[in-house]
Amino acid sequence: MKAPSSIIYIIIILSIGCIQRHYIDIDPYVPVTPQSFGQLEPIGLQIINSRSSNNISQKSGPDLFFFSPKFTVRSESDLTDIIKRKINEGLLRIGFKAKSIEKVPYKTLKVEIVRLKSNYEEELPVLNVRVQAALRAHCNNRRKNYSKTYSFEKRLNSAPASTFPNQSLINETLSETLKKVFEDKKLIICLAQ
Q: In whole angstroms, what is the distance from residue 49 CA to residue 131 CA?
A: 18
Q: In whole angstroms, what is the distance from residue 114 CA to residue 134 CA?
A: 5
pLDDT of 34 > 90? The answer is no
pLDDT (0 to 100) of residue 13: 41
pLDDT (0 to 100) of residue 69: 54
pLDDT (0 to 100) of residue 89: 95
CA–CA distances in Å: residue 8 to residues 3, 12, 19, 70, 165: 9, 6, 17, 19, 31
Q: In whole angstroms, what is the distance from residue 155 CA to residue 177 CA?
A: 14
pLDDT in tens, 127-180: 899 999 999 999 999 888 999 999 999 999 988 888 888 999 999 999 999 999
Question: Cα 36 from chain centroid?
Answer: 29
Output the CA angle 177-181-185, nearest 5 degrees. Answer: 145
Report residue 5's pLDDT band, with 50, 70 and 90 as the boundaries.
low
Torsion of CA 8, 12, 14, 17, to 10 degrees: -170
pLDDT (0 to 100) of residue 162: 83
| Domain ranges, residue 66 | 2-192
Lowest mean pLDDT among 66-75, 76-85, 111-120: 66-75
pLDDT in tens, 80-116: 999 999 999 999 999 999 999 999 999 999 999 999 9
| Contacts for 154 with CB less than 8 Å, ≥ 6 apart | 130, 131, 169, 172, 173, 176
At 57, which CATH number?
3.40.50.10610
Question: Cα 127 from chain centroid?
Answer: 21
Name the average pLDDT for the chain.
85
Domains of the chain: total: 1
pLDDT of 11 > 60? The answer is no
pLDDT (0 to 100) of residue 1: 44
- The continuous run of DSSP H or E covering 154 comes out as strand 145-160
Q: In whole angstroms, what is the distance from residue 179 CA to residue 187 CA?
A: 12
pLDDT (0 to 100) of residue 61: 56
Q: Where are the alpha helices (DSSP H) in the chain?
A: 2-17, 79-93, 167-183, 185-192
